[in-house]
Amino acid sequence: MKNIGQEFLYEHPGVERVEFIYVDFNGVPRGKWASPKTLIKAFDGGLRMPLSSYALDIWGDNPDGTGLVMSGDSDAICTPVASSLALTDWCDRKTAQCLVSMEDANGQPVFADPRHVLQRVLDRFKELDLQPVIAPEMEFYLIDKNLTEHGHPQMPLIPGTNRRYEHVELLNLGEMDDFDKFFTLVEKSAHALGIPAETAIKECSPSQFEINLLHHSDPLLMADQAFLLKRLIKNCAKQCDLNATFMAKPFTREAGNGMHAHLSLVDAEGNNLFAMDNNKQPQGIFAHAIAGLLNSTTELMSFYAPHANSYRRLVPNGNHAPTTLSWGNENRTALIRLPEASAAATRLEFRAASADANPYLVFASILSSVLDGIINKLPLDPETVGNSHKQHPPSLSISWREANDKTKKSALVGDYFGEQFQKVYHRIKESEIQRFESTVTDFEYHSYLRSL
């Protein structure tokens, strides 16, 4: 059998470095740099890295209580994901990158790998001969590479001026032109990595943009591509003397960054099971799928909104973010929007997830909710017409701790994600919550230090 790594190096002579990358619970890229020869070894027998490195907090530390370090902090085998092997376009040295997934000594998937969590969910769809088709919209800000004197992000300077971007400028092509170098590099780099970046638009805050991926019927590959696109965008921004951030709410008075996901479902013959007739009212499987999402969203919020900052996006009048358990045709105030489309292109848009989330866990959450609704034939509440914020309570405006506690108690998470994953994920988030709650902030000093 031919060695894929050896073939790649033969086809791409001069590679100086290989990046082996995996994604931790928080969606942070981790891994190692290695020599080209290591690529051949990796495709022959895998690499070894600590299993505990999946279960790191946002600061890259192992919290107490996960059990992974205390059990000996053993290595696991990292198997290359062949479809991800490609050259990068943003490095000074000729560099290849390759995703890896972890397996134990018996070749079984490691519970802590988010790729395997998503695959667990997809296996349940396969048992029913159902195929999800999913694609995300990735929102982000381009910001100045230098922070303010207070350590805060700031908008870039408008070319040829000393002024910074300050206006909404939704869909403004002139502002896209200002960042042409960046978007050209993103387009070129995405093509080199096989990432189907389809469109880019100017979003509804200064220097905020969105890049959409072209949908296809391999959700695991799509999650790989979404994860790699985020890394690509950040690296391309650095090449253009900028920074890019997917932080959910980097600016108090501006819109947050979301990761909206478009989803349809096809059968073994390729028929769209979400297709609607002219009355635009979901029936059967489509109705149950929407009901499943509405039923499970709050217990999965710690995956859709995994960080303290994520919940600053999910507030009433929080600049276009959903806060209610609602659905509606062409209704962007609802949690679930049904875009106008032909029968074959009928889909739903799920709008809860923030851009700071782990795409593997976002997809796993959406799909497990959909399947739960279908299997249990959950009934669908009536459509919301008009502004959902004025018609329903802000059910998604919960605290980070409340969201994490709901995930800990969720039977759905234990069933679809695995109880061991559920336990470790909750412990990591609990550790982060405790640290945030015990840290004195600058705002507290500004508010209290002189007055009290």
Q: What per-residue confidence (pLDDT) applies to 65?
A: 81
Percent of the chain with pLDDT over 70: 98
**188-199 mean pLDDT:** 95
Residue 344's pLDDT is 86
Overall fold of domain 122-417: Creatine Kinase; Chain A, domain 2 (3.30.590)
| Position 91 confidence tier, pLDDT thresholds 50, 70, 90 | confident
Q: Using pLDDT thresholds of 50, 70 and 90, give the confidence band for residue 421.
A: very high
Q: Tell me which CATH code domain 4-112 carries.
A: 3.10.20.70
| The 3-state secondary structure of the chain, one letter per residue | CCCHHHHHHHHCCCCCEEEEEEECCCCCEEEEEECHHHHHHHHHHCEEEEHHHHCCCCCCCCCCCCCCCCCCCCEEEEEECHHHCEECCCCCCCEEEEEEEEECCCCCECCCCHHHHHHHHHHHHHHCCCEEEEEEEEEEEEEECCCCCCCCCCCCECCCCCCECCCCCCCCHHHHHHCHHHHHHHHHHHHHHCCCEEEEEECCCCCEEEEEECCECCHHHHHHHHHHHHHHHHHHHHHCCEEEECCCCCCCCCCCCEEEEEEEEECCCCCECCCCCCCCCCCHHHHHHHHHHHHHCHHHHHHHCCCCCHHHHCCCCCCCCCCCCCEEECCCCCCEEECCCCCCCCCEEECCCECCCCHHHHHHHHHHHHHHHHHCCCCCCCCCCCCHHHCCCCCCCCCHHHHHHHHHHCHHHHHHCCHHHHHHHHHHHHHHHHHHHHCCCHHHHHHHCCCC
Predicted local confidence at residue 89, as pLDDT: 87
Average pLDDT over residues 13-18: 96
Q: What is the pTM of this model?
A: 0.96
If you average pLDDT over every residue of the chain, what do you get?
94
Residues of the chain with CATH 3.10.20.70: 4-112
For CATH 3.30.590.10, the residue range(s) in the chain are 122-417
16 or 397, higher pLDDT: 16
**Average pLDDT, integer, range 388-413:** 94
